[in-house]
Amino acid sequence: MILRQLKELIKKEMLILLRDRQTILLLFIMPVALILFLSLAMEGVWADKLTGRKIQLVIENESNSPKANLLEEKIKFNKMIQYVVRPQGMDDDKIFADGKAHAVVTIPQGFDEGDNPVEIYFDPVIDAGYKIAARSLITSLTVEVVMGIENLDAVVAGLVVEKTKPNKEFPTPLQQNVPAYAIFAMFFIAIPMSIGFLKEKKDGTLQRLFTYPVNTNLLILGKIIPYYLINILQFVLMMLIGVYIMSHIISFSFNLGEHPWHMLPITLVVAAATTGFGVLVASLARTPEQSSTLAATGAILMGVFGGIMMPHVLMPLFMKKLAMISPMYWAHQAYLDIFLRDAVFGTILPKLIILTLFAGICFYIAGRRVKWI
């Protein structure tokens, strides 16, 4: 009897929600669009971080001595360098202003005799990391030529060995954006949830429901479960799109890690947190307009602080600490633990506890404030 009543309540709520086609489109089309366009837009930035960008160099060989010519050849054909021929009539400042090169390397006369060092003139706005990489590369190649070492990298490799697994800290565009904007869209469930509640309360539908011989808690549960299920469906669809569609559109694959099944408990808890946020918005707002504004503003602010709009790994230290106030941060980091760090369940458990507490607090405050009848 109870299950049948719950089923009918859920069915009623789903029919009401499905009538609002614009909201359904918002919940499902918005994250797809964000994942698609932002992944494409950020693909180059991720390529720079993950695989390294070739440094564009203009080389001026004023010496033309044997050692100078050898150094010029080593620089030109290095895999990190993209050799650029100086355009006709362009000085160094003009080259940088037009974005033709990142640096100009000059091998001066007297280089063979050790009278004059190699000169590097950098574009003033070049990224500090690439500036360091370029300087280190030119330095090592110059040492090879001057000291007659065939391959300095091979010599150093015998002394220093890198053991870090590739891409275990910095996410690919899909690893960052798919869970990020799926979570972001899940929090927008607060808009239809709160608007529907306020409309039913205003037109008296909610009060009439409580006159029926149905348990109050069952009625409340019947209103919450449909939105909870929609949130889970949202995330599943975004993951399928990321794995089977987006991975063929951009040049990065979507590695799910060694324990992808750990996404299940995370998604269940995140859906509870987003549903709790919706109930909280419904209890705080007095009109549908207030609820939509409060829900959208809250979701956007949590996204900004929580490493959704900007990857957490790229944030300054102050923002990284501030991100911890956002439930989106804990949800997103839990997914990244699985994708990047092959986390066991014990690693993600503290994040799940925090999200559960957030959901519990939302439901508690809403329960104290809302007047169901």
Tens digit of pLDDT for each residue in 38-70?
A: 777 766 555 555 445 677 888 888 888 888 888
pLDDT in tens, the chain (373 residues): 667 767 777 777 777 777 767 777 777 888 888 888 877 776 655 555 544 567 788 888 888 888 888 888 888 888 778 888 887 877 878 888 877 888 888 888 888 777 788 888 888 877 676 778 788 888 888 887 777 766 655 555 555 555 555 545 577 788 888 999 999 989 988 888 888 777 777 776 666 666 666 666 677 777 788 889 889 998 999 888 888 888 778 767 788 888 889 999 999 999 999 999 988 998 888 888 888 888 889 999 999 888 888 888 778 888 888 889 999 999 999 999 998 888 888 889 999 999 999 999 998 888 777 655 4
pLDDT at 129: 67
pLDDT at 151: 61
Q: Which residues lie closer than 8 Å to 293 by C-beta, 6 or more apart? A: none
d(CA 42, CA 10): 40
Tens digit of pLDDT for each residue in 185-233?
A: 899 888 888 887 777 777 766 666 666 666 666 777 777 888 898 899 9
d(CA 27, CA 197): 18
pLDDT at 86: 82
d(CA 371, CA 4): 26
- Return the number of other C-beta atoms located less than 10 Å from residue 94's C-beta: 11
Q: Which residues lie closer than 8 Å to 144 by C-beta, 6 or more apart? A: 74, 150, 151, 152
d(CA 108, CA 104): 12
- Crossing angle for the helix pair 216-241 and 263-284, to the nearest 10 degrees: 130
Q: Return the closest-CA partner of residue 330 out of 302, 310, 364, 362.
A: 302
- Return the number of other C-beta atoms located less than 10 Å from residue 52's C-beta: 13
pLDDT at 70: 86
Query: Class of 53-157 per CATH?
Result: alpha beta
What are the residue boundaries of the structural domains of the chain, listed by start?
2-48+168-369, 53-157
pLDDT at 145: 77
Contact in structure between 35 and 242 (CB atoms under 8 Å): yes
pLDDT at 353: 96
Report pTM: 0.69
pLDDT at 78: 82
